[in-house]
Every structure is written in structure tokens, then in C-alpha cells.
């Protein structure tokens, strides 16, 4: 991605490149992780994230509040993901959330505990994948992006109370479904 910044700097050497570079370095990992969790496709994720940062650079002067750049980025990411699936005529409720956070599965201390955690994580991800995309997205934004309820509401274009309600429903469903499977 740093090559991408270099290419933009060849086009325009204005002060925008400094702002853009700061924003890029601050949000690239969170944005990449969010898109990857929603698409589960590394190549598609890289394309979408690149398009998002290109749009950011093109619209940097039009974005009124630099403090709200987080919302702009995640809202644009959400729109890009949905746009991709609309173009491909793939239903967005078929997002695959397998393999989320599979790093650090095994530790040296207690392999049995790690295997049990991995099994529970797999159960959770399998159950999460069965949920409607709106509920799944709220959960991913909260659990993996660490956003506040109000921030999720802005990104998804819904009221903060609806975010809390959806998140509560997701948690309740996951707990109920997983507890039935574990017993």
C-alpha cells in the first residue's frame, strides 16, 4: 500500500498528500480488517481498500470535518462492499465469516485449552454466518473494529438505539445457539 501513496505523490505534490498519508497510516489496518471480515477474500479486500483510499484522496478537500474521517472511510467501505456484491448479483446475506481471527490458535502453554477455544470460535463463526447481514455487520464493527455504538450508527446509517438492539439480539442468539451446541 505504501507504493500506492508513492504513486499518488507523483500525481500531486500538494499538502493533501501529507494529510492523506497520515490518514492512510492511521486507518489502513482497521479498514483492511473490516473489509476482509466482510468479504473473506484477500484480493477483493485489497482492491476495495485501494478504491476507498483513492476516493478519499480525490475527495479530501470536500470532506468537511477531518475528525469524522473514520465514519467516512467505514461508510465508504460498506458501500463499496455492497456495491461489489450488487454488481456481481451475489446476495449480501451470503457473506462468509469463516476464518475470522484464526491467528494465534495454538499456544505453547495448554494445547487442550487452545483446541477448545478454537472449537468454540468455529462454532461462533458458523452461527454468526447464519445471521442476517445487518446483525452480522453490527457485531463485526463492534467486536473487531472496536467502534462505539454511535460510530456504528453513523457508518450504517441507523439510530444508535437500533445498533444496541441489533447487537443485543446477536449476542443473545449467539449465546443461545452456542450453549445448545456445547451441552
DSSP labels, the chain: -HHHHHHHHHH--STHHHHHHHHHHHHHHHHHHHHHHHH--HHHHHHHHHHHHHHHHHHTTT-S-GGGHHHHHHHHHHHHHHHHHHHTT--GGG---TTTT-TT---SS-HHHHHHHHHHHHHHHHHHHTS-HHHHHHHHHHHTT---HHHHHHHHTS-HHHHHHHHHHHHHHHHHHHHHHH-
Within a domain: residue 82? yes
Q: Which of 52, 69, 96 corresponds to the end of one domain? A: 96
Task: State pLDDT tens for residues 130-177.
Answer: 888 888 889 888 887 778 899 899 889 999 999 999 999 998 988 888
Task: State pLDDT tens for residues 61-90.
Answer: 787 776 688 888 998 998 898 888 888 765
Same domain, 59 and 126: no
Q: What is the pLDDT of residue 2?
A: 52
Task: State pLDDT tens for residues 5-50.
Answer: 444 444 555 667 787 888 889 899 999 988 888 888 899 999 999 9
Model-level pTM greater than 0.75?
Answer: no
Within a domain: residue 102? no
Within a domain: residue 101? no
The CATH number for 118's domain is 1.10.10.10
Same domain, 90 and 111: no
Same domain, 73 and 114: no
Same domain, 145 and 63: no
Amino acid at each position: 500500500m505504501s507504493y500506492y501513496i508513492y504513486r499518488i505523490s507523483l500525481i500531486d505534490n500538494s499538502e493533501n498528500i501529507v494529510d492523506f498519508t497520515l490518514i492512510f497510516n492511521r486507518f489502513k489496518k482497521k479498514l483492511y480488517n473490516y473489509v476482509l471480515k466482510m468479504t473473506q477474500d484477500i484480493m477483493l479486500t485489497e482492491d476495495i481498500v485501494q478504491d476507498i483510499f483513492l476516493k478519499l484522496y480525490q475527495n479530501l478537500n470536500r470532506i468537511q470535518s477531518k475528525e469524522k474521517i473514520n465514519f467516512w472511510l467505514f461508510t465508504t467501505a460498506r458501500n463499496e462492499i455492497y456495491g461489489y456484491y450488487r454488481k456481481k448479483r451475489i446476495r449480501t446475506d451470503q457473506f462468509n465469516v469463516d476464518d475470522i481471527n484464526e491467528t494465534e490458535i495454538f499456544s505453547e502453554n495448554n494445547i487442550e485449552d487452545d483446541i477448545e477455544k478454537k472449537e468454540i470460535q468455529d462454532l461462533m463463526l458458523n452461527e454468526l454466518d447464519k445471521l442476517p447481514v445487518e446483525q452480522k455487520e453490527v457485531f463485526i464493527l463492534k467486536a473487531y473494529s472496536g467502534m462505539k455504538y454511535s460510530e456504528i450508527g453513523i457508518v450504517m446509517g441507523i439510530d444508535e438505539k437500533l445498533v444496541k438492539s441489533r447487537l443485543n439480539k446477536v449476542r443473545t442468539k449467539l449465546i443461545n445457539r452456542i450453549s445448545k451446541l456445547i451441552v
